A and B are shown apart, each in its own frame.
Chain A
Amino acid sequence: MKVIELSGRYYGFVTSTFDLYSTCETFLRSSKVIQGSFSYNYLRKIFYGIFLNAEDLCGIYEEYYYDEYYDFYEFLYKKELLEKDDISIIRCELEKGLRLLRLYISDNSYNLETFMEYEEDFLEKFNAMIQNIEEVSL
């Protein structure tokens, strides 16, 4: 599981078993902060701020655009308007069997997206916390 920023947009890579609530609970347990505490509530707010209302682009392609585009990568290029270099990065992750989520962080929390934009270490450290989460929750 991983979050990346490409051309000013955020994307998540998750397994097909991804579930927002249970994955967040596992994320919180991994931090070992006390349940209900200030840090617990903020970590939960951050996690939901990142993943709430995410769109499963693989699912959208398969359900609505499968016949319209030659493959998922053409869909990303022509519909999602991603650059070819960005699509190459995505392809590497999807070949590991992950699914692609389009994240709408600024819709959930403008403050969080601003924080992520300017706190250069945030994504690396957030990814360090979530990289093995789904293996744990399965």
Chain B
Amino acid sequence: MKIKSDFVTNSSSTSFILATSEEPTRDFLRDKFGIRDKFPLDFIFDNLISAIEREREEIHTYIEKHYSGMTVDEFLESKGFNKSTVDLILVKIKQGEKVFYGHLSSESGDSISESFFCCESFLVVNDDFYFNGEISGW
């Protein structure tokens, strides 16, 4: 166990959107992250994938649970995503892609990797894979 002895920062929680053409299994996500073989630092990405698996929820289900009455575009805009992102997500939903919403937390306690990515800003866009953590980052 480590005890933090210097200043203590506020915890942070940031949103991500994941859109895929197929079920985002662990193997699918490793593949889309570009990982082909095991290597010593792959745990960083495996821990991120674990956080995604744990936190992701189909976006309509998420909105119904937590923001009942809101549309997808109203919800995403309220979370700070820009109009072009919102429009893209609406297109993906219309095209039948699986769209998920979730959070990464700096204090989930599950992995330091999750805290790391929680404070980063990233966007991955492929034909069959979209992963947006752009509004993350300090």
Contacts and interface: CB of A to CB of B under 8 A. Distances in A.
Contact of A31 (B41, B112, B116, B119): B41
B94 interface: no
A125 B112 CA distance: 15
Given A33-B34, A115-B112, A125-B41, A38 B2 contact: no
Interface stretch (A39-47, A68-76, A79-87, A88-96): A39-47
Contact of B34 (A38, A46, A111, A129): A38
Interface in A26-71: 30-40, 42-43, 46
B41 A38 contact: no
B43 interface: yes
Contacts of A30: 39
Interface of A: prevailing SS:
helix
B69 interface: no
A101 B10 CA distance: 33
Given A37-B34, A38-B33, A118-B2, A126 B41 contact: yes
Interface residues of B, number: 24
B19 to A, nearest CB: 15
Nearest to A117: B2
Interface residues of A, number: 27
Contacts of B44: 42
Max chain A Cβ within 10 angstroms of own Cβ: one of B32, B39, B113? B39
A135 interface: no
Contacts of B34: 33-40
Given A38-B34, A125-B41, 5 more contacts: A31-B41, A32-B37, A34-B35, A38-B122, A42-B44
20 contacts: A30-B39, A32-B36, A33-B36, A35-B34, A37-B33, A37-B34, A37-B35, A38-B34, A43-B41, A111-B116, A111-B120, A114-B116, A115-B112, A118-B112, A118-B115, A122-B41, A125-B41, A125-B43, A126-B41, A129-B40
Interface of A: 30-40, 42-43, 46, 111-112, 114-115, 118-122, 125-126, 128-129
Interface of B: 2, 32-37, 39-45, 112-113, 115-116, 119-120, 122, 124, 131, 138
